[in-house]
Structure 1
């Protein structure tokens, strides 16, 4: 077994993708979940910016039309097995970015994440709580572990 395969089998690499919105969920995920208080790295959950290294894709914000194709490309670049976590009210249902009639899509918004790529775990909140993000990562683990 090569070094890359060995380390990949013993850790979860998460990639965070922002697809529009206020950026509040990203701040909570990066600054709170990866801070010493929550320290997800002690559980072997690492943040990566390379889709080819990722096991879990965490998507925040409503998916804008401008980000729809790049999100699909990132999703397709992540090797199997992979899991997707939609984090925050905007990623789950459009949040405050829904059009005035309450339905999505609009001229600028393609929709919530599950209308663009498959979603395995959902983390509600505006902004998300760090504890809930960790719970979402744990909820996605069975899909990853059964395939390894």
Structure 2
């Protein structure tokens, strides 16, 4: 009951960077922590603990080095949970997906986020605008609040 009540009052967003240029990470942190967008005024908080997270925001192409870690983080987030894939790299591998294309396979990319964990909301852009990231998080809320 306490968890359900706190989820209606506060949303904790966990950001996971899985490879790429970090442009999307800057935009996600900008939308949550900057005074201009200030998502904290609406009780949306950034956390680095998967056991506190409600929404997992994944940015970057998923490299082979972090694929297992991403699955582990996803499994540690309590139900109900939502996943937001933000940015072109998270959605389709971005420019990094073409590396090794002449060999018929990428040498260090496991693919977009949805190949590794289920994705509930997709936020396109390179990098996505902070407004779009906030919209993506809001689109994920019904799944969390309704369970």
What's the RMSD between the two structures over aligned residues?
A: 1.9
When structure 1 is superposed on structure 2, of 38-47 and 86-95 the one drifting more is 38-47
Cα deviation digits, residues 6-29 of structure 1 (max 9, x gap): 433311100000000000000111
Q: 1:78: which partner in 2?
A: 77
In 1, the alpha carbon distance for the partners of 2:110 and 2:140 equals: 24
Contact persistence 1:28–1:127 (CA under 8 A): yes
Q: 2:132: which partner in 1?
A: 132
Contact persistence 2:61–2:89 (CA under 8 A): yes
Contact persistence 1:65–1:108 (CA under 8 A): yes
Cα deviation digits, residues 14-47 of structure 1 (max 9, x gap): 0000000000000111134421110111111110
In 1, the alpha carbon distance for the partners of 2:29 and 2:118 equals: 23
In 2, the alpha carbon distance for the partners of 1:106 and 1:18 equals: 19
Q: 1:88: which partner in 2?
A: 87
Which runs of 5 or more structure 2 residues have no equivalent in the other structure?
A: none
Q: 1:62: which partner in 2?
A: 61
Q: 1:13 to 1:83 in 2, by over 3 A?
A: same
User: Matched residue of 1:53: which SS?
Assistant: coil
Give the Å deviation of 1:5.
5.3
Q: 1:146: which partner in 2?
A: 146
Confirm or deny that 1:115 pairs with 2:121.
no
In 2, the alpha carbon distance for the partners of 1:105 and 1:64 equals: 13
TM-score by length of 1: 0.91
Aligned length: 146
